[in-house]
């Protein structure tokens, strides 16, 4: 009996602890949502933030859809309520349009607001009918494409994919691009629509030397195919090229493999091909890089200070002379000598080959601030 009481007390304490943690998380989320909405108000209508009271409310209990309310308090302040930052922003916009008679547009704003904001005439509550709206969007897009090309196939990115939009298309007329190759499990394998599992390696100007080589070598298409029969291919969705050649060399080769490959073995062979020899120094350098900026979890991020810099293809005049002078005494860890050739271990003998267009550069360390 004593043991049962102890167990009950322990379970009760655990439940109370979980409840307390959940409540703390809810409060943190509330603060973040209100802070984001107030910041938006300050950006759109500077100086009016203090005339609003912002409150977080639950989503619609019947449908789970977003909801917002517009009201006023006894002090005459405008009260905006919403279940998330988007709903609060919608309440703010609705209030400006239909209480203040203001207009926000990409083509210009009309924000002739009084010094003291008007109070809403009555409390107003609106549900944001997301599914109906998204279905209408999908139908309209599908109709427009049919009018333009009745046999066309739509390629839809999975960046912010929405099921109600997707389902307005026949499965034979749409292919989903899973940009990072990992969205499909959380989207019910894109509801049976064919999809391409790929990588968004470069975006937003990320040209640093980086990229998850072990992930690419694991054969993401094979993994996706084992999990979803509607996976139809692999792809690359970079925003720019002419950077990180080693990453793309491996990525474009993987469709030729039925299974995963050993990334380290492939990299050793790549080094030999790239430099036209078997430079031990270059292989050591690439092993270091493969454990750092080319290691697991490095797609789309740059945790290293190593950068990629373009090599001038045809320097002229003074710049050519300066390049020769500055590089005559330098040899990189990659095994390239001053003229762009490659060296074997120790640097005593060299084998000329075509000049790589990109080279790793290590910036000078900055002194620590005190």
Local confidence pLDDT in tens for the 370 residues of the chain = 544 443 333 334 333 333 333 344 456 678 888 999 999 999 999 999 999 999 999 998 888 889 999 999 999 999 999 999 999 999 999 999 999 999 999 888 999 999 999 999 999 999 987 788 899 999 999 999 999 999 999 999 998 899 999 999 999 999 999 998 889 999 999 999 999 998 888 887 777 888 899 999 999 999 999 999 999 998 998 888 888 899 999 999 998 999 999 999 999 999 999 888 878 899 899 999 999 889 988 876 654 445 554 444 444 444 444 444 434 333 333 343 333 333 333 333 333 444 444 444 444 444 454 4
Residue extent(s) of CATH 3.30.379.10 domains in the chain: 24-128
Find, among 159, 170, 161, 229, the residue nearest to 198 by Cα.
159
Question: How many other β-carbons are positioned within 10 Å of the β-carbon of residue 104?
Answer: 14
**What fold is seen in the domain 24-128?**
Chitobiase; domain 2 (3.30.379)
**Predicted structure pTM score:** 0.57
Q: Are strands 174-178 and 195-199 parallel, antiparallel or unpaired?
A: parallel
Find, among 320, 275, 177, 317, the residue nearest to 235 by Cα.
177
Say if residues 78 and 72 touch (Cβ distance below 8 Å). yes
Three-state secondary structure call for residue 294: coil
Three-state secondary structure call for residue 177: strand
CA angle 114, 32, 300 (to 5 degrees): 115
């Amino acid at each position: 009996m004593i043991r049962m009481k102890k167990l009950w007390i322990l379970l009760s304490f655990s439940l109370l602890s979980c409840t307390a943690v959940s409540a703390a998380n809810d409060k943190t989320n509330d603060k973040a949502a209100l802070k984001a909405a107030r910041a938006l108000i300050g950006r759109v209508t500077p100086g009016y933030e203090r005339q609003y009271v912002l409150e977080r409310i639950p989503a619609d209990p019947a449908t789970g859809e977003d909801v917002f309310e517009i009201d006023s308090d006894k002090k005459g302040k405008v009260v905006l309520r919403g279940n998330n930052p988007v709903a609060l922003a919608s309440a703010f916009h609705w209030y400006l349009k239909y209480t203040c008679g203001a207009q926000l547009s990409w083509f210009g704003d009309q924000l002739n607001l009084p010094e003291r904001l008007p109070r809403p005439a009555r409390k107003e509550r609106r549900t944001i009918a997301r599914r109906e709206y998204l279905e209408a969007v999908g139908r309209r897009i599908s109709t427009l494409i049919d009018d333009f090309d009745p046999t066309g196939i739509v390629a839809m990115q999975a960046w912010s994919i929405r099921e109600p939009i997707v389902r307005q298309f026949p499965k034979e007329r749409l292919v989903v691009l899973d940009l990072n190759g990992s969205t499909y499990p959380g989207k019910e394998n894109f509801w049976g629509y064919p999809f391409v599992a790929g990588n968004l390696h470069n975006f937003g100007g990320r040209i640093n030397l980086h990229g998850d080589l072990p992930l690419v070598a694991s054969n993401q298409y094979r993994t996706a195919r084992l999990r979803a029969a509607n996976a139809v291919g692999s792809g690359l969705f970079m925003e720019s090229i002419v950077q990180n050649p080693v990453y793309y060399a491996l990525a474009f080769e993987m469709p030729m493999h039925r299974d995963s490959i050993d990334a380290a073995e492939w990299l050793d062979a790549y080094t030999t091909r790239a430099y036209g020899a078997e430079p031990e120094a270059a292989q050591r350098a690439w092993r270091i890089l493969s454990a750092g900026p080319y290691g697991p979890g490095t797609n789309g991020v740059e945790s290293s200070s190593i950068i990629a810099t373009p090599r001038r293809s045809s320097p002229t005049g003074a710049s050519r002379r300066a390049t020769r002078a500055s590089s005559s005494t330098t040899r990189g860890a990659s095994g390239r000598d001053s003229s762009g050739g490659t060296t074997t271990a120790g640097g005593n003998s060299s084998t000329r080959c075509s000049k790589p267009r990109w080279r790793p550069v290590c910036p000078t360390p900055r002194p620590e601030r005190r």
